Copies of this chain bind each other. A is one copy, B any other.
Amino acid sequence: MSLTVVGSIAYDAVTTPFGERERMLGGAATHFALAASFFDEVRVIGPVGDDFDAASWEALQTRGTITDDVERVEGGKTFFWKGEYHDNLNSRETHVTELNVFEQFAPKLSDEAKACDVLFLANILPDLQREVRGQCADARFVAMDSMDLWINIERDSLIETIAGVDCLILNDEELELLTEAPNFVAAANEILQWGPSSVIAKQGKYGAALFTADGYFALPAFPLSSVIDPTGAGDSFAGGFVGYVAAHPDEAISHDLLVRAMVYGTALASFNVEAFGTERVIELTSDEITERVDHLQKMTTFSHTPISLRS
C-alpha cells in the first residue's frame, strides 16, 4: 500500500476575525499529507522554492511522509497565497496569489511515486492532474479536487480529467457550477455519468455527502463553537478520506468503505479548523481522532421504532 498526492506546497498569509498569520506553511498537498499520514505512508509531489525552510521540510515529513519527489527549484520562490475571511468565515477574499515555482511546474514522478496504490490529485491545473494520473496507471483508487477557477477557465480539460478518476471531491456550489444543475444532488448524480464511481459534495460547516451507484451517505460536520481558520479544511478532509481508503488495500472499493472513509475525513477536517493552518493537525494524536469519530457516531445515531401515524 502506498499513497501519492500531487498538489501545492505553499506559504500562506491568512487573516480571520480571530487572528492572523503573516507566513505559515500551507498548500493543499501539505494539509492532505498531514491528515493522510495517520493512515498510510504518503509521498508528496510538488515544487518548492529555495526559501522553503528546514522547519517546513520537517513539518511536511510528519509521520514519515516522503518528500523525495518534492522538487526544490533553485532560485525559485515557494507558492504564496494571502487571503482574508469575512462575515463569520462565510466568505473568503484572495489578496495575493503568487504562483512562483508553480508557473513552470511539470510533474516528474519517481518510480515509487508512479507505483502508488492510491492517488490524490489536489487542486491544480486540470492538465497537470491528468498528466500525473496518466503516470500512475496502476492506482486502484484515484480521487481529485478542483476549484471554481478551473471550472470557469479550463472546463473542457477539467471534465476530461474528471472522466479519468474514481472519485471527485468538490464543494457543493462548485458541483452546481460545473454541471449547471439546480442543486448538488442533481449535480452529483450527473457527474456519476461522466466517469467517476463516487462523488463527494463538501458542504463546509454543514458536513459532506457521498454519492455512489450503490447509495447516498451524508454526515454533518462536527459541531465546533470556535472555528479559527478554515484554510485547508477540504484538503484535510480529503487526507482523512483518501488515507482511510489507502489503509485498506485488501478491501474492494465499495460504498461501505467510502462511507467509513467519509467519517475519518470529517474528523480530520474538524481538527484542521480549530487553529491556523497546520497548527492543530500537526500536534494531533490518533487517540483524539478515534474519540472524535466516536462522537460523530453518537451525534448521528437514532433509534427508529415505527409509530402508528394518523391518516
Q: Which residues of A contact B (CB under 8 A)?
A: 17, 37-40, 63-64, 88-89, 176, 182-183, 185-186, 189, 203, 205-207, 209, 215-221, 223-227, 244, 247, 256, 259-260, 262-263, 285-286, 289-290, 293-294, 297-307, 309-311
Contacts and interface: CB of A to CB of B under 8 A. Distances in A.
Contacts of A304: 260, 263, 293-294, 297
Given A215-B298, A297-B302, A309 B185 contact: no
Given A183-B88, A302-B260, A223 B209 contact: yes
Contact of A217 (B216, B225, B226, B300): B300
B260 A300 contact: no
A182 B89 contact: yes
Nearest to A305: B260
A216 B298 CA distance: 9
Contact of A225 (B189, B225, B294, B309): B189
A289 B224 CA distance: 32
Contacts of A220: 206-207, 209, 218-220
- Which of A176, A224, A286, A304 is most buried by chain B, counting CB atoms within 10 A of its CB? A304
Contacts of A226: 182, 186
> Most chain-B Cβ atoms within 10 A of its Cβ — which of A38, A89, A220, A290?
A220
Contacts of A216: 223, 299
A224 B183 contact: yes
Given A259-B302, A263-B302, A301-B301, 5 more contacts: A88-B176, A183-B225, A189-B225, A209-B220, A217-B302
